[in-house]
Chains A and B, each alone.
Chain A
Amino acid sequence: MTRFAWVQTRPQTLFAAAALAAFALVAAITGVHLSHLFHSLVAHCHIGCALANQQFLSHDHFMDRTLSIVARVVPALLGMFWGAPLLTRELETGTFRLVWTQTVSRTRWTITKLVMGALGTVLIAGLLTLTITWWYRALDPLASNQYGVFDRRDVVPIGYALFGFAAGALIGAIVRRTVPAMATTLGVFIFARVAVQSWVRPHLLTPVTHSESLGSADQFGIASLNGGAPTVVAQGSGPPSSWTLSTHLLTAAGQPASLAQRSAFVRDYCPSLANRPVGSIPGPGLHHAVAVPTPANGASQACMDKAAHAFRLAVSYLPGDRYWTLQWLEAAVFVGLALLSGIGCFWWVTRRTN
C-alpha cells in the first residue's frame, strides 16, 4: 500500500521537491552574499555601528519580502494542494470503489495515505523553515525583536503546515469535491492562524509584569479617547527583545486605574486642560485618541508632574528567553489540532463514507 500511495503522490512530491530546491538555491546564493556583507559592514565595526546596522538591514528587501510571503503562504498551500485533494480526488472520481475493493482494508488505506502525506508535509515545511531561518541568521539578531517574526521562523511553520494538511484531508473527506474543499481549507487555515495568534498565543505563557514610573513610559500624556472627557493615557513596553502583551495605568496604591479615576484626576488637578476644546493629533499607538493640545506653560507641566506621582505604569511582557518555549508551545497547539483533524478524517472515512 505504501508503494502504491507513493506512486499516486509522486508527481506532486517531485514538483514540491523541485520548487523547494530552486527556492533553497536562490536563498543560498543571496544568503552567502548577505554573510559577506555582514562581515564587511557589521562584524568588525567599532564606531558608527548603528549606521552600519541600518545599512546592513536595509539590504535585499526583495528577498526579505519574498521570504516573508513564502513562509506565511506555503503552509496554506500544502493544506490546499496536498491535504485537500488527498482523499477528495478518489471520492470525486469514484476510484475509491476501485482501491477500497482491493485486498487492503479501508483502515490501512486511510492510515497509509494520512501518515505518508503528513511525513511529506513535515519534511517540506521543515526544509523550508530551515532555509528561511538560516537566511535570516545574521539579520535577525540585529533586528529589533525576534517576536516580530515569530510565525515565520523556527518550528512553528512546521506545525502550521501539518495542521493545514490534516485539516485539508478532513475537509476533503467531508466535502468530497476538490475545488470547494481547497477553498474551505484555505478559509479554515486562515481562521485558525488568526484565532491562535490573537486569542491563544498571548495566554500560552504567564507574562512577567513590572511597574514603572510614568516618566519612563514610551508615551504619556492627556488625551480624549473616542470623544470622551480628557484622561491620563500612557503606553510602555517591556525590555528589548521581549514581547509586550499589555500596558495599563496603576493608581499610587497599586490598583488598576479605572477610566473614571483617570478623568477625575484631570478634572481635579488640571482644570485648565479639562475644559479645553480637543485638537486632533493622535499619537502613534494611541488609536482613536485625540491629544489635548498642551499649552507650554507651568500649569500644564505641573499637571503632568502630578500625574507622574499619582499613577504608575504596569507592563506585561514575555521576556526574550521565553521565545523558544513559546515556539514549541504554539507548534504543539497546531500539531494537536492536526492530530484531531487526522483522527476525525480517519473516523469519517472508515465509519461514515459510503
Chain B
Amino acid sequence: MTAALEASRLGKRYGGKWALSDCSLSIPTGRVVGLVGPNGAGKSTLLHLAVGLLAPSAGTISVLGARPGSGPEALARVGFLAQDSPTYDRLTVAAHLQMGRWLNPAWDDEFASSRISELELDVRQRAGTLSGGQRAQLALTLAVAKRPELLLLDEPVASLDPLARREFLSTLMEIVASRQVSVVLSSHLIADLERVCDYLVLLVSGRVAVSGDVDSLLASHRRLSGPRRDPSTMPGNLMVIEASHAVRQSTIVVRTDGPIIDPAWTVTPLTLDDLVLAYMRQARDGAGAPVSRLAMAP
C-alpha cells in the first residue's frame, strides 16, 4: 500500500534559513494524523510541500505515490485547507461553490449543497461577511467536495473561538467517518487534536521529533519516579526522553517496549500532552540532536 505521505531527507530553505530540514517520515493512509509542533516548527512548510504550493530545496516528498503538484491528477487527489481559510471576500458563497464545480472534475455537488444548508449559510452572502467559523466551514466544504483521497488542513482551528472550534472538529469527524479520506491536520495545541487524531507527528525546529500511532506511543512511554538517579545508568532497553531531578528524587520519561520491573520506580502512564511536551523539551535541550542517551547525561 502506498503511503499517504512519504518524505525522505526533505528540506525547505527560505533565503538562508531552513524552515524544514532532514525531515524523513512515512504516514500510512486511512489515518487521522495530528501534525503537532510549536510555532515556526515547519508544519505549514511541510503541508505546503505536500500539496505542491512549495517545491523542496532538498530531499524528496511523495503524496499518494505521486510528486505533489505535478499536474491536475496529483492536485485532484489532495484537498487542502490553508491557514486562516482563505476565501474570496467579494464573491458569494454560491460563487465559491460554482468555482469548486468548475475547477474540479470530481466535484461532489450533492455533498457541497447539503453541507451549506446544514451550516445554514445564505448562498447569496459574500464570503467577506462570514464569521471566522463559517468561513472555515465553507473552505472545508470546498476542500472535501472535490473528493480527495487525502485532506490536508493547516491550523484549521487556530483562529476560531472555542465553540466554532468544537463544531469544526465534529464536522471533520463526521466527514472522516462517512468518506474514505485520510486526514493530516496541523496545530500547535495538542488539545485540539487529542480527540480526533489516531496518529501523531511531532515537528520541532524543522525536524521530526517523534511520529507514530497514538495508542502505541502512549503504550510505550512511561513516567518513572523514584530515588534520585543518574539517567545514564538506566538499563539499555529504556530510552530516556526526559529527566528532571529534585534533591532526592528523579522523574524520568522513558520509551520502552517491555514492562518495567525495577520495584524502585513508581510507574505512571503519560497523557498525549505530557508525551508531546517531553519530546519538545528534549528537542530544545538537545539542540535538535537525535534522541540519544548521551544528550541527556547530567
Q: Does A206 contact B (CB under 8 A)?
A: no
Cβ contact within 8 Å between A101 and B78 = yes
* Interface 1/0 per residue, A1-21 and B, CB below 8 Å: 101100110010000000000
Cβ contact within 8 Å between B53 and A103 = no
- A7-B98, A98-B139 given; A105·B72 CB < 8 A: yes
Contact partner, B86, options A3, A4, A93, Cβ 8 Å: A93
Cβ contact within 8 Å between A102 and B99 = yes
Report B39-70 residues with CB < 8 Å from chain A CB.
48, 51-55, 69
Chain A residues with CB under 8 A of B89? 93
* Interface 1/0 per residue, A224-241 and B, CB below 8 Å: 000000000000000000
Chain A residues with CB under 8 A of B72? 103-105
Q: Does A99 contact B (CB under 8 A)?
A: yes
Cβ contact within 8 Å between B82 and A105 = no
**9-residue interface stretch from B102-110, B201-209, B280-288:** B102-110
Contact partner, A103, options B91, B98, B104, B139, Cβ 8 Å: B104
CA gap between A135 and B88 in the complex, in Å: 41
Cβ contact within 8 Å between A97 and B54 = no
CA gap between A157 and B212 in the complex, in Å: 63
Q: Does A267 contact B (CB under 8 A)?
A: no
Q: Does B87 contact A (CB under 8 A)?
A: yes
User: Closest Cβ of chain B: how far from A129's Cβ, in Å?
Assistant: 31
Cβ contact within 8 Å between A103 and B88 = no
Q: Does B224 contact A (CB under 8 A)?
A: no
Chain B residues with CB under 8 A of A7? 91, 95, 98-99
Cβ contact within 8 Å between B75 and A101 = yes
Report A63-122 residues with CB < 8 Å from chain B CB.
93-95, 97-106
Contact partner, B100, options A3, A8, A102, Cβ 8 Å: A102
* Interface 1/0 per residue, B130-167 and A, CB below 8 Å: 00000000010011001000000000000000000000
Report A161-206 residues with CB < 8 Å from chain B CB.
none
Cβ contact within 8 Å between A99 and B103 = yes
Chain B residues with CB under 8 A of A95? 86-88
CA gap between A94 and B273 in the complex, in Å: 32
Cβ contact within 8 Å between B106 and A103 = yes
Q: Does B76 contact A (CB under 8 A)?
A: yes
Cβ contact within 8 Å between A97 and B53 = yes
User: Closest Cβ of chain A: how far from B126's Cβ, in Å?
Assistant: 12
Contact partner, B99, options A4, A93, A97, A354, Cβ 8 Å: A4
Chain A residues with CB under 8 A of B14? 354
Cβ contact within 8 Å between B103 and A103 = yes
User: Closest Cβ of chain A: how far from B40's Cβ, in Å?
Assistant: 16
- A7-B91, A7-B99, A354-B53 given; A98·B76 CB < 8 A: no
Cβ contact within 8 Å between B53 and A4 = no
| Closest chain B residue, CB of each to CB of A98 | B86
* Interface 1/0 per residue, A313-354 and B, CB below 8 Å: 000000000000000000000000000000000000000001
User: Closest Cβ of chain A: how far from B86's Cβ, in Å?
Assistant: 4
CA gap between A145 and B264 in the complex, in Å: 106
CA gap between A298 and B69 in the complex, in Å: 89
Cβ contact within 8 Å between B146 and A102 = yes
User: Closest Cβ of chain B: how far from A13's Cβ, in Å?
Assistant: 14
Q: Does B16 contact A (CB under 8 A)?
A: no
Interface residue tally for chain A (C-beta within 8 Å): 20
| Closest chain B residue, CB of each to CB of A95 | B86
Q: Does B84 contact A (CB under 8 A)?
A: yes
CA gap between A7 and B53 in the complex, in Å: 24
Q: Does B80 contact A (CB under 8 A)?
A: yes
- A103-B72, A103-B76, A103-B146 given; A97·B102 CB < 8 A: no
* Most chain B CB neighbours (cut-off 10 Å) among A11, A101, A106: A101
CA gap between A11 and B98 in the complex, in Å: 17
Cβ contact within 8 Å between A8 and B75 = no
- A7-B99, A95-B87, A97-B82 given; A105·B51 CB < 8 A: no
CA gap between A226 and B81 in the complex, in Å: 70
- A97-B53, A97-B80, A354-B53 given; A102·B103 CB < 8 A: yes
CA gap between A7 and B90 in the complex, in Å: 11
Cβ contact within 8 Å between A1 and B91 = no
Q: Does B235 contact A (CB under 8 A)?
A: no
Q: Does B71 contact A (CB under 8 A)?
A: yes
| Closest chain A residue, CB of each to CB of B100 | A102
* Most chain B CB neighbours (cut-off 10 Å) among A1, A95, A102, A354: A102
Cβ contact within 8 Å between A104 and B82 = no
Cβ contact within 8 Å between A101 and B51 = yes
User: Closest Cβ of chain B: how far from A227's Cβ, in Å?
Assistant: 56
Cβ contact within 8 Å between B53 and A101 = yes
CA gap between A88 and B88 in the complex, in Å: 13
User: Closest Cβ of chain A: how far from B263's Cβ, in Å?
Assistant: 56
- A1-B103, A4-B99, A98-B139 given; A103·B86 CB < 8 A: no
Chain A residues with CB under 8 A of B71? 105
- A4-B103, A98-B142, A354-B53 given; A103·B87 CB < 8 A: no
Chain B residues with CB under 8 A of A100? 52-53
Top 9 closest pairs, chain A to chain B, by CB: A97-B82, A102-B103, A94-B86, A101-B80, A103-B76, A103-B104, A95-B86, A104-B103, A98-B86
12 contacts between A and B (CB under 8 A): A7-B91, A93-B88, A94-B84, A97-B80, A100-B52, A101-B75, A101-B79, A103-B72, A103-B75, A103-B76, A103-B105, A105-B75
Seen from chain B, the residues whose Cβ lies within 8 Å of a Cβ on chain A are 14, 48, 51-55, 69, 71-72, 75-76, 78-80, 82, 84, 86-91, 95, 98-100, 102-106, 139, 142-143, 146
Additional A-B contacts beyond A4-B98, A97-B80, A102-B104 (11; CB < 8 A) = A1-B103, A4-B102, A98-B82, A101-B51, A101-B78, A102-B103, A103-B103, A103-B104, A103-B105, A104-B75, A105-B69
